[in-house]
Amino acid sequence: MAKLDPRVVLDSDVQLTERQKTYLEAVIECGSNSKAAKKLNINRRCVDKGMKLIEAKCAAVGVAPHRDLTHQTAEGFETKRVSTAYGEHGDVKLQWHIQEKKKGASTEQILEAIESYEWKPAPKIKAPTKHTKDLLTLYTLTDFHLGMYSWSAETGDDWDLDIAEQEALSGVQRMADGSPDSEMAILNLQGDFLHWDSLLAVTPASKHVLDADTRYGKLIEMAISVVMSSVEILLRKHKKVRLLVCEGNHDESGSAWLRKACKKIYSNNNRLEVDDTEFPYYAYLHGEIMLGFHHGHKKKNTALPQLFASEPRYRNMWGSATYCYIHTGHYHHAEQNMAENGGAIVERHPTLAGCDAYAARGGYVSWRAAHAITYHITDGEHSRKTVVPRLKNVQKNPELSRQ
């Protein structure tokens, strides 16, 4: 398959990051990706990925002569559509190159910016001396919708960026205070942690307009801040912490850049591991206990046991587990009668977030809460701590208020 000649990129006006320039210059000097990686003392996959991003960026502005694209777009524009008429011998007879103004940042651009940003490592926190080796505690925040705006006069709940930050950190701290000193913890952001996914506050697929409290740049800053603060709470209590950022239907790309950002931030912390699975189904094996995760927007709960049992990436894990617990969200309310079906217990988690106008006007009511569930390495669920919002204007359910 023909590839873009790196020298063509240098002759164009395509804007590259400093890291991309380094990759490009090394490939030109060394003659191949593998030799360039050896020269730079990095994994070849990094160079391969970097060169693919460069090719995609070039093609987006009309620089791909190996694909018969030879006219670069004007500054501030990108390629919208190309129509090419070929002659009998494969030569280009006519070509229409339609340009349009560049839109908001794409997923690739956001991830690229995160990859190239020089992150300062997070502060290292001294590991606790007291912990129980056989226990793992799962902290779940699902459908948190950070950045959503809700007015209590309309919805029954007040919700904005500041309230969300307070509820997240208060919830994680109270769950940690009420849970055992497990050696291992998982911070599970079970999808839709972010309310929207681009410069425009709309749902990614249907483009439904959402009630947003802030601008996307501020949302990014707050998301990273809340996650880092939550991680620090857990690092003070547990010897090891695993961060899981599940893809949701509101944050398909947001979950990706948040995961990548945290991977960079904690790259030098050997007590913090970020699950970097590029797949909306996630799993972790704790001794003989398999924990599965999915936001719940692509598969129904009843179909998840079969998926995890048959999925090649998790088949061995499923086979070695005595118990399997699958966790979902998406519907903003708990499934109190957990479905034990197909060899697994599937539990849908409630949310701490307030009700938005869409749900309130549609009559969708749910009790607000979050669970921290502790699992024993062989015996399965050991205990759980449930917290409810601390704000005065929230609905209260005694069943979810056990402390």
CATH number for the domain including 52? 1.10.10
Pair (59, 174) in one structural domain: no
Say how far apart CA 23 and CA 33 lie, in whole Å: 8
Say how far apart CA 226 and CA 193 lie, in whole Å: 11
Can you give the CATH number for the domain in which 229 is found? 3.60.21.10
Is-contact 13 72, C-beta < 8 A?
yes
The CB-side HSE value for 170 (13 A sphere, CA atoms) comes to 14
Residue labelled with tokens 């693919």: 52
Least trusted range by pLDDT, from 59-73, 120-134, 284-298: 59-73
Domain that holds residue 97: 6-102
Is the pLDDT assigned to residue 103 strictly greater than 70? no
Say how far apart CA 342 and CA 348 lie, in whole Å: 16
Is the pLDDT assigned to residue 108 strictly greater than 60? no
pLDDT given for residue 399 in this prediction: 41
Pair (291, 144) in one structural domain: yes
Task: Give the whole-number percent of the chain exceeding pLDDT 70.
Answer: 82
Q: Please check whether residue 110 lies inside any domain of the structure.
A: no
As for how many domains the chain has, the answer is: 2
Token code pair at residue 152: 């209590």
Token code pair at residue 265: 């931030």
Is the pLDDT assigned to residue 400 strictly greater than 90? no
| Non-local CB neighbours of 45 within 8 Å, separated by 6+ positions | none
Token code pair at residue 224: 């990273």
Is the pLDDT assigned to residue 315 strictly greater than 80? yes
Task: Give the whole-number percent of the chain exceeding pLDDT 90.
Answer: 46
Least trusted range by pLDDT, from 91-100, 129-138, 259-268: 91-100
Q: Please check whether residue 109 lies inside any domain of the structure.
A: no
Say how far apart CA 3 and CA 188 lie, in whole Å: 40
Is the pLDDT assigned to residue 25 strictly greater than 50? yes
Query: If you average pLDDT over residues 163-174, what whole number do you get?
Result: 94
Say how far apart CA 174 and CA 68 lie, in whole Å: 60
Q: Please check whether residue 111 lies inside any domain of the structure.
A: no
Q: Please check whether residue 375 lies inside any domain of the structure.
A: yes
Length of the chain: 403
Say how far apart CA 50 and CA 22 lie, in whole Å: 10
Pair (128, 75) in one structural domain: no
Pair (363, 224) in one structural domain: yes
Q: Please check whether residue 53 lies inside any domain of the structure.
A: yes
Pair (85, 142) in one structural domain: no
Token code pair at residue 271: 């007590």
pTM equals 0.71
pLDDT given for residue 95 in this prediction: 67
Q: Please check whether residue 116 lies inside any domain of the structure.
A: no
pLDDT: is 171 or 217 the higher one?
Answer: 171
Compute the mean pLDDT over every residue in the chain, rounded to the nearest whole number.
83
Is the pLDDT assigned to residue 93 strictly greater than 70? no
β-bridge pairing 132-141 and 182-189: parallel
Confidence of residue 393 (pLDDT cuts 50, 70, 90): very low
Which segment, 15-24, 209-218, 264-273, 277-286, is predicted with the most confidence on average? 277-286
Query: If you average pLDDT over residues 326-331, what whole number do you get?
Result: 93
Confidence of residue 122 (pLDDT cuts 50, 70, 90): confident
Query: If you average pLDDT over residues 296-310, what whole number do you get?
Result: 93
Pair (374, 238) in one structural domain: yes
Pair (83, 227) in one structural domain: no
Q: In what order do the strands lie in the sheet with 182-189?
A: 272-274, 240-245, 182-189, 132-141, 370-376, 380-387
The amino acid at 150: S
Confidence of residue 120 (pLDDT cuts 50, 70, 90): low
Pair (288, 343) in one structural domain: yes
Terminal-residue alpha carbon distance, the chain: 62
Pair (153, 262) in one structural domain: yes
Query: If you average pLDDT over residues 111-134, what whole number do you get?
Result: 73
pLDDT given for residue 68 in this prediction: 63
